[in-house]
Structures are given as structure tokens and as C-alpha cells.
Amino acid sequence: MKPEISKDTIRGHTTTIVLNILSQGDSYGYEIAKTIKRLSQEAYDINEATLYTVFRRLEKNGDITSYWGNETQGGRRKYYQITDQGRATLTQNVAEWNFAKQVIDELILGRIDAHVSKN
């Protein structure tokens, strides 16, 4: 049986996921959704409503800005761009994730006898 990632596990990290993608270049909603699916090796498919909620929150917080692209590739698309503040938020979120990952690994995989108090 192939393991699955629950939406609850991802939920607290969608902001960081989107900031990571935008730190690599401006993009629009559909392309970001495809990138998330590709980066997760098809293990996670973000729902459109969730993605646009993340965009609104990030824009309100000043982490991203948006602008309208031109129609040269078909319909007019709204592009998102990370700000300097968004880059700082991404750096902080990644540091917090790395710390949380380390603590969770110890809690899930750690051996009690390896952490015996020396008092």
C-alpha cells in the first residue's frame, strides 16, 4: 500500500510552499498548482480554493504582490510575485520547519533509552 499525505499535514505549510515557488520566479495560479503537483511527485494536489485563499492571505500580509500579464499567451492571467518581506517570511518558515521536523522525528522515531536523564 502506497503511503498518502493527508491534507491536514500539508495545511500549515501551504504558505511556505507557495513562497518557495514564487521565490524561483513570478507565476500564476494554475501554473503554481501544477508545480505543486509536480514537486510532490503527484502525491499532493492543491485545491484551487485553498490556493487562492493562500494568495489573498500572502498579499494582505505583504509577502506577495500581483499584477496582470498581457494577453500574448491567450487569456489575461494574474501573476504573483514574492516581495522582500515574503523572502524573509520564507526563510523564517523554512527554519521553523527544519526545527519542527527534527523534533517530530525525535518524538516519532526516538528511543527512550537514548534520552535517559543523567540526574
Assigned domain for 84 exists: yes
Burial label for 93, CB within 10 Å (0-12, 13-18, 19+), is middle
* Residue 25 falls inside a structural domain: yes
Q: Is residue 102 part of a domain?
A: yes
pLDDT attached to residue 115: 66
Give the number of C-alpha atoms closer than 13 A to the C-alpha of residue 34, restricted to the C-beta side.
Answer: 5
With respect to residue 31, please indicate whether it lies within any of the assigned structural domains: yes
Q: Is residue 47 part of a domain?
A: yes
The total number of structural domains in the chain stands at 1
Does 2 reside within a domain? no
Q: What is the CATH number of the domain that holds 13?
A: 1.10.10.10
What was the pLDDT predicted at 119?
57
Domain that holds residue 65: 7-115
The whole-number pLDDT of residue 7 equals: 81
In a domain, 1, yes or no: no
24-31 long-range CB contacts below 8 Å, 24 or more apart?
A: 26/79, 26/80, 26/81, 27/79, 27/80, 28/69, 28/77, 28/78, 28/79, 28/80, 29/55, 29/77, 29/78, 29/80, 30/77
pTM of the model: 0.86
**Is-contact 50 113, C-beta < 8 A?**
no
> What is the chain's alpha carbon radius of gyration, rounded to the nearest angstrom?
18
Residues of the chain with confidence (pLDDT) below 70: 73-74, 115-119
Q: Which three cell numbers stand for residue 30?
A: 494554475
